[in-house]
Structure 1
């Protein structure tokens, strides 16, 4: 299914404020509340909207260090990748992970309470994994642009 202009505006509005009611969406889109609600429900059912979450302030939660960790595997294969993926799933400080082209095999985004916590994650968790050859970490000094909405 292709998205029309109203669908795109609805998605953009929900990315800014997922709490919008059908009434408020209808007003923004010049639709009745029931039409806006049906469109939202259809976009949810068809998988355009995957869910709704709250954006938390990491510093208020005591997570003062944000970093990116590149992981280079020494051995490749399905069993090593699956084992590493299982390890990532167990670590709450790893908030996102990507497989990459280029030099590194994985890029991890992490939030830690402090530098010793980041050090423990790297030296006590990641490096001991049998497939990991090396890691390269970068600490975020400042985030100039927050994670934004997807272009619609």
Structure 2
């Protein structure tokens, strides 16, 4: 077990906006490859972050109070991480399922 958590409604916590963000980085630069990982782990707006294969390098779930708060998050992400070259965002319209449970099956 890594942690015990409470599942809180983001809107009730004052963060009703949830965004799915894909991030592309420049892997050719002199940047520390783990710097973005550390930044994402420390950033309160980021609920989940994965390094992924495919068109993007990272996929994030981020929350915000409103559009201005989300814009501020994006500005920080780009300004404080020189390796970031592109971000694409999708706004969550409705949560169909939210959870971190891992199914345990008998094999």
Shorter-normalised TM range: 0.7 to 0.9
Q: Distance in 2 between matches of 1:121 and 1:108?
A: 12
Which runs of structure 2 are paired with 1:27-106 in the superposition (5 Å)? 49-76=1-28, 79-106=31-58
Partner of 1:141: 93
Report the Cα distance in structure 1 between the residues aligned to 2:37 and 2:14, rounded to whole angstroms. 26
Deviations 1:51-74 (A, max 9, x none): 321111211111010011100002
Question: Is there any run of 5+ residues in structure 1 with no aligned partner, and where?
Answer: 1-48
Structural RMSD (CA):
1.8
1:75/1:132 contact within 8 Å kept: no
Determine if contact 2:29/2:83 at 8 Å carries over to the other structure. Answer: no
Query: What's the TM-score once normalised by structure 1's chain length?
Result: 0.62
Higher relative contact order (CA 8 A, sep 6+): 2
Equivalent residues, number: 103
Moved over 6 A (4+): none
Task: Name stretches of at least 5 consecutive residues in structure 2 with no aligned partner.
Answer: none
Structure with the higher helix share, 1 or 2: 1
2:76: which partner in 1?
125
Distance 1:78 1:107, change over 3 A: farther
Cα distance in 2 for partners of 1:86, 1:92 equals 12
Which residue of structure 2 lines up, in the alignment, with residue 29 of structure 1? none
Q: TM-score, normalised by structure 2?
A: 0.85
Structure number, greater radius of gyration: 1
Aligned 8 A contact 1:96 1:110 in 2: yes
